[in-house]
Structure 1
Amino acid sequence: MVAPAVPEIIEDDDIGLAVDARTESLAGLRELGPPDLVHLVKQGVKATSKQTGIYHHVTGIDASSSASLAAYINTLTYNPADKSNKVVSGLYCCYNAFSHLDMRVEVKIPGGVESYCVDERGDRRVATANLWLETFLCGVLRAYFYADDGSGDTIKKIIGVRRFNPITSTETEHRFLEAAEKLFFSGRQLGSDPEIQIPNVTSNHLTAGLLKYLKTTGRYTSGINLFEKLRTKDVEVSALLAKILLEGDEEVQAVRMLYESLQDVPMDYSLLDAQAEFCLSKGENELALECAKRAVTAAPSEFSTWARLCEVYVSLEHFGLALLTLNSCPMFSYQDKDSPRMPEPSRVLLPVMQESVLDEIDEGQPRAGEGYDQVHVSLRKLQAATYQGTFLKAYSLLTDIAARIGWDALLKTRSQVFVMEEEYRAERHASLTPKMPSSRNASTTGLAGTPNGGEPYGQADDNSASDDEDEKTLAESSHQGGLNGDRIQQNSEMSANESMEKPLPTIKAEEVKSGSDDPDSTNEDQGQFQNKRLCERWLDNLFMVLYEDLRIYTIWRTEMSQYRQQQMQYKKSAAEWEILGDLAERLHHNNEALEAYQQCLNIRFSPKAMKGLLKMYESKNDTRNTLACLIRLITWQYRWYSEFSPELLHSMRKLVEEEGALKIRSIIQSTTLPQHVMDLTHEYAQVLLAFKSTGTDG
């Protein structure tokens, strides 16, 4: 494939500071480790006393031996854009997450190659063949985990990372699967996704990477062969085998194998969850319910089992039970991937390769020194956009319920299943207040009917009505002096606030515990609320976050409608349109998300907006528009040193499977884009051809 350009992060004074920082960070690495570090030392061709250190990060390089890493350094020794300097030495650092060692290869030019490894204390050790096997496997897994999904979010996190496809041939695939087989039962040492509390044989970074690779490339037969061999050693591997069989359209074999495996381990939650997922996909919700319940019983401390049960209840339209189940989910704090912590560089050079130049991407981008887009403060404060891990999944489930039944029905369901603060205090007050005498007189009767304790009948209602009228009058008078746009915005905010009821708070568990000292009140509370539960604080917060999302969404749509009625142009910055598209997508309003993303792209190119369009077009089976999005995203990725994105490769594979490689190539060639841009997309198709994917025949 076409190699992306080489970014240069420059150390003018303290050469090797980046390597020292990496060595110091080794003790704090938790999982797969950061991307590989490549550090070069340059000196002037004429002024040999002047040396400069430069470095960049990289993923996807073959780390099976010191020779392969040294070969990568050799590819960097010649830079046609810099003929006044030459590379005199290079160091490649690649983290081995199994043994917690940093494998290093040092190249002297001209000279020899030295390989060794550094432990967490910074001491050198001998690099053995087994350590290189572990390093090779870690390198492939990191290439998949640190790859960008097409939206650009991962690329923007770490500056100057070259991303390569680690497996481009069946020979490399064979070595990868062979290494995975040898180290499979050590996979739990690598950690797991944030939704998994305790890594196990079937839930860890190694198994997740295997599944992602097989799904990306469609090499299901290779995966089936691997898991069949591993299943003979541990029956729990059957859950992984079932997933691959289902992905490869071998449903009958998968169901039979799940049934047989559950005879041996009837309470394996991975197998039960796989059964529940399959039944749910087939619309057999009642069968899925029984499987999901047993999975929760088998693994009550895992988030995934509770989340699956919640999905089933949502499909069955048992929304009260879905909320109760969501409330029971164990939530884990999110831990981000290991990322490099580098010192402040002297300079940064980010060259652009000529093959990735496309005017459509360049036009409208802010230049150096220019400020970022202005974003309204209400859009910057949307907390849901920052969710990760279990909180992201839980919020997705909550928005799914809201999209099905509406906000008002969701609040009503919430008040039916959770103890609300207002009713708890009213009940507690009633239980603690001495009973009034049964005799009646004019004084007590009058006071009992008075809303504010001592005011005559009707006075409080009249005052509240007049207050509302005063507020309306003030609002109208303030609007009269404003511009049309300001008036529309204020009106839309008022209408949004009026149309949406703000969620009332639920009672805190600690308040119930602190108020349970009185035995009488405890009995009263239990009698009144025996069918209700206390809402967890995190779920209560999700309701407030959802309310804010829906409020901003309602304001936006109301403003749009009013501007159109008055035939006025509705203006937002590109960043604001991108946020609004993300907001609409979160709330399952796909058409509105599509509209916002298109408005963003009309102003300037945005990978996140383009990725949003790609998802929408894929769901509609729109081949031409899907391919148009893919071409631009692949080009943007190359521009920022990434030749590999698993999600984009998977999208390309699905298109080739459905339409055939010849038709896809013809559609690409029929566009008016420059040939070098189309060639980049053809490179992705070449990978599929090397794997003989479906649709590449002939």
Structure 2
Amino acid sequence: MVAPAVPEITEEVLHEAIEARTEQLIALRELGPPDLVHLLKQPVRNAGKHIGVYHHVTGVDASSSASLAAYINTLTYKEHGSSASTKISEGLYCCYNALSRLDMRVHVTIPGTVESYCVDERGEKKKATEDLWLETYLCSVLRAYSYADDGSGETIRKIMGVRRFNPVTNTETEHRFLSAAEQLFFRGWQLGSDSTVQVPNLVSNHLVSGLLKYFETTGRYASGINLFEKLRSQNIEVASLLAKILFMGNEEVEGIRILHSALAETPMDYVMLDTQAAFLLKKAQTAASPEQKEERLRMALGCADRSTIAAPSEFSTWARLAETYVALEDWENALTILNSCPMFTYQDKDAPIMPEPKDVYLPTLPETRLDEIDSEPESRYSEQVDPSLLNLRAASYRGTFKQAYAILTEMTAKIGWDQLLKIRSQVFVMEDEYRTEKQEVGHHTFPPKRNPSTDGLRGTPNASQNGENHDDEEGSETESNVETKDEKQGESNDDSEQAEADTGSTAATLVPNGNPVEKPSSTADPGELKVDDNGTPDENLSRLNNKRLCERWLDSLFMVLYEDLRVYTIWRTQMAQYRAQSMQYKKSAEEWEILGSLAERLQHTDEAVEAYRACLSQRFSPKALTGILRVFEKTKATRESVGAILRLVTWQYRWYSEFSPELLRSIRTLIEDEGAVKVRSIVQATSLPQNVLDLTHHYAALCATFRSSGTDG
């Protein structure tokens, strides 16, 4: 299999890329940035001059200095940049060890020696030991999965010039990876965790996420069961991971048995309770009767409710409880519990911060040439986009805010915007009713018996348990129940901004059937309800005693949802009007892509596919094609799925990525459903060039190597 092309970024000042990486070490918080490969090149006719070039890479075998030196040696045989007139004289490979917070480095002189060492956060050199290489190798594999693209190109566009390789290509390398994971498993919490996890622990961290991602991608569930069985014998908490792998492998009875046995020993393990609740929610969707569905949802409710007691400061437990109430169609409780979710500042992956380059060379490999893909970059940057589409804040949501928004949009999709606003006013103290009641009792004074900011919390655990703090200064931008994962995380991103979205002067927008999208009225400000204008607590707001205060972040989410709905409604109204007049509705490809994402966010699948198709009719878009692929997979449209995968694999390879876990999982799933022979036949039957087809055959060959279901024939 031909390797991806080698991008080259030329330095303005020699070695400045290495110095920038060294300076960044102290600020790294997650798994670290992709590996840095720095090369010194000499012009053939001027041996005294040196040119510094570099690129980034993930997935290279980092188990020893020899394997990293071997990668540098492969670059000497590649034609890239001005290779005809230059030669590589030195190379430095930098790979971050997130467990020991050291940058492992291998320096190669060509021809000549290999030197390996490591650099700490202060920039001091230290000796590289075997134990450190084991840690580095594990971190390298986890990074390869963490920094891999899902097919949409979003990750690829974040960092320029990254070569991405598959770190586990056969059963031998799988054994090495799982052996390293087993040896270092109980230190996994030191790597940190996803931004939706408040406190990393033994079973919620980046190591566990990487392992689960690997098993989900490759379908190697037997290997996962074997690993977690051994680890469970050392710590009962691992039972939750074993159960998850068993559920993935359709061994549900055994998974439930293990969870039941483990919970008998540790009844307040929140991960186990959450795993049980998630399983029951999934089973409720396939229930044979309404009664069976109701029974499973009630069981899920018990598990989810108990998990919030076991871990009141974790977002995932409250989100699961809210999802359960949504499934039960208990809208008031769903909104109440959503309001109780502790929100965390999103912590993005570590990315390299490099100086402005002197030159950038991004070559195209002949094997990836495809007309529809090659024309994408040029047309992409010449498109006009309506400013109202660019300012949709929900598109930038990540972490807890993205998940909370998804729950809110699911409720909207099921009951409608008007009904959601009605329930909102029933659950939360609204500004107008608070001011009315305050005027009625304003001339009375009462002893400070209760605090209205917590008075209405009927079934919600107390504020301190939920990570809430209503003692913040009035007017503070910090959310009352927003907790950051780390004191060093710095300022919150746009996800947690509490300013209302700029929704313009339109208070309502007509939808095609004539119903208005009503702008949500304001809820009462928690800070204002603490004390009245004279500094005396308002204690006699009797009609409001059974209501809650809406957290500012949730109030902001309602405004963001309103803006999404407003733009979506205008789009659908205009579409209907143009069709009624037999006129063509015109938008640029970028605008169609944004509208498709908007419709998908609001859970309007058919409209999303319609917009994505309109985008693809004008130019290639990996994001639009990935959105359509998700629908093809749900509807079991095999030929259409294969066509989408072929193009996405080629686009990925065009931008130096030979490995996408999501695309590998998609191909594996197709092979399991249809068989390898049929899938290969469909691939060959397409009209695309053979060199493009071979790229996807490479993914299919991986499935055969791992003996995935459906590859026997």
Match of 2:371 in 1: 359
Q: CA shift at 1:365, angstroms?
A: 4.1
Aligned: 1:663 with 2:673: no
In structure 2, the CA distance between the partners of 1:600 and 1:9, relative to structure 1 (3 Å rule), is: same
Aligned AA for 1:576? E
Aligned AA for 2:318? W
> In 1, distance between residues paired with 2:510 and 2:200?
49
> In 1, distance between residues paired with 2:506 and 2:32?
52
> In 2, distance between residues paired with 1:346 and 1:518?
61
Alignment partner of 1:538 out of 542, 547, 553: 553
> In 1, distance between residues paired with 2:432 and 2:346?
33
Q: CA shift at 1:83, angstroms?
A: 1.7
Larger radius of gyration: 1
Match of 2:449 in 1: none
Aligned: 1:683 with 2:698: yes
Match of 1:2 in 2: 2
> In 2, distance between residues paired with 1:255 and 1:192?
26
Aligned AA for 1:406? G
Match of 1:337 in 2: 349
The correspondence of residues 516-531 of structure 1 with structure 2, limited to 5 A, is 522-525=538-541, 527-531=542-546
1:340-395, Cα deviation, whole Å (9 max, x unpaired): 0000110000000000000121235426xx95321111101100000000000000
Higher helix share: 1
Match of 1:623 in 2: 638
Q: How many residues align?
A: 639
> In 2, distance between residues paired with 1:34 and 1:310?
35
Match of 1:438 in 2: none
Q: CA shift at 1:133, angstroms?
A: 0.2
> In 1, distance between residues paired with 2:522 and 2:564?
18
Match of 1:484 in 2: none
Q: CA shift at 1:518, angstroms?
A: 7.5
Consecutive unaligned residues in structure 1, runs of 5 or more: 435-489
The SS at the match of 1:98 is coil
Match of 2:521 in 1: 504
Residues 507 and 519, structure 2, Cα contact 8 Å, conserved in 1: no
The SS at the match of 2:538 is helix
Residues 43 and 86, structure 1, Cα contact 8 Å, conserved in 2: yes
Aligned AA for 1:386? S
Residues 509 and 518, structure 2, Cα contact 8 Å, conserved in 1: no
Residues 560 and 570, structure 1, Cα contact 8 Å, conserved in 2: yes
Aligned: 1:614 with 2:629: yes
> In 1, distance between residues paired with 2:416 and 2:428?
18
Match of 2:179 in 1: 178
In structure 2, the CA distance between the partners of 1:124 and 1:376, relative to structure 1 (3 Å rule), is: same
> In 1, distance between residues paired with 2:96 and 2:201?
22
Q: CA shift at 1:492, angstroms?
A: 14
Residues 492 and 559, structure 1, Cα contact 8 Å, conserved in 2: no
The SS at the match of 2:92 is strand
Q: CA shift at 1:50, angstroms?
A: 2.2
> In 1, distance between residues paired with 2:651 and 2:49?
36
Aligned: 1:64 with 2:79: no
Aligned: 1:572 with 2:587: yes
The SS at the match of 2:157 is helix
Aligned AA for 2:317? T
Residues 239 and 258, structure 1, Cα contact 8 Å, conserved in 2: yes
Residues 516 and 522, structure 1, Cα contact 8 Å, conserved in 2: no
> In 2, distance between residues paired with 1:113 and 1:29?
27
The SS at the match of 1:522 is coil
In structure 2, the CA distance between the partners of 1:493 and 1:420, relative to structure 1 (3 Å rule), is: closer
Residues 364 and 654, structure 2, Cα contact 8 Å, conserved in 1: yes
1:277-307, Cα deviation, whole Å (9 max, x unpaired): 1111111100000000100000000000000
Match of 1:515 in 2: 532
> In 2, distance between residues paired with 1:642 and 1:610?
17
The SS at the match of 1:155 is coil
Aligned AA for 1:384? A
> In 1, distance between residues paired with 2:140 and 2:377?
34
Match of 2:132 in 1: 131
TM-score (structure 1 length as normaliser): 0.90
Q: CA shift at 1:523, angstroms?
A: 3.5
Residues 61 and 137, structure 2, Cα contact 8 Å, conserved in 1: yes
> In 2, distance between residues paired with 1:355 and 1:371?
25
Larger mean CA deviation between 278-287 and 141-150 belongs to 278-287
TM-score (structure 2 length as normaliser): 0.88
1:482-531, Cα deviation, whole Å (9 max, x unpaired): xxxxxxxx999953597111100000111000229687x73421x21121
> In 2, distance between residues paired with 1:123 and 1:676?
47
Residues 193 and 205, structure 2, Cα contact 8 Å, conserved in 1: yes
The correspondence of residues 83-122 of structure 1 with structure 2, limited to 5 A, is 83-122=84-123
Residues 529 and 538, structure 2, Cα contact 8 Å, conserved in 1: no
Q: CA shift at 1:100, angstroms?
A: 0.4
> In 1, distance between residues paired with 2:399 and 2:613?
28
Q: What is the RMSD of the two structures over their aligned residues, measured on CA atoms?
A: 1.7
Alignment partner of 2:568 out of 553, 570, 574: 553
Runs of 4+ with >6 A deviation: 490-493, 516-519
Residues 315 and 400, structure 2, Cα contact 8 Å, conserved in 1: yes
Match of 1:190 in 2: 191
1:450-480, Cα deviation, whole Å (9 max, x unpaired): xxxxxxxxxxxxxxxxxxxxxxxxxxxxxxx
Match of 1:297 in 2: 309
1:182-211, Cα deviation, whole Å (9 max, x unpaired): 000000000000000000000000000000
Match of 1:258 in 2: 259
1:17-65, Cα deviation, whole Å (9 max, x unpaired): 1000000100000110000000001101222122211100000000000
Match of 2:402 in 1: 392
Consecutive unaligned residues in structure 2, runs of 5 or more: 285-295, 445-504
Alignment partner of 2:435 out of 408, 420, 425: 425
The SS at the match of 1:366 is helix
Q: CA shift at 1:566, angstroms?
A: 1.1
Residues 78 and 86, structure 1, Cα contact 8 Å, conserved in 2: no
Aligned: 1:40 with 2:57: no
1:377-429, Cα deviation, whole Å (9 max, x unpaired): 11011000000000000000000000000000000000000000000000011
1:120-156, Cα deviation, whole Å (9 max, x unpaired): 0011000000000000000000000000010000000
> In 2, distance between residues paired with 1:223 and 1:48?
53
Alignment partner of 1:590 out of 591, 605, 618: 605
The SS at the match of 2:521 is coil
1:137-184, Cα deviation, whole Å (9 max, x unpaired): 000000000000100000000000000000001000001000000000
In structure 2, the CA distance between the partners of 1:67 and 1:551, relative to structure 1 (3 Å rule), is: same
> In 1, distance between residues paired with 2:376 and 2:119?
46
Match of 1:447 in 2: none
Residues 364 and 603, structure 1, Cα contact 8 Å, conserved in 2: no
Aligned AA for 1:222? S
In structure 2, the CA distance between the partners of 1:689 and 1:364, relative to structure 1 (3 Å rule), is: closer
> In 1, distance between residues paired with 2:375 and 2:108?
41
Aligned AA for 1:677? V
Aligned AA for 1:108? T
In structure 2, the CA distance between the partners of 1:492 and 1:633, relative to structure 1 (3 Å rule), is: farther
Aligned: 1:402 with 2:419: no
Match of 2:226 in 1: 225
Residues 530 and 538, structure 2, Cα contact 8 Å, conserved in 1: no
Match of 2:273 in 1: 272
Alignment partner of 1:314 out of 322, 326, 329: 326
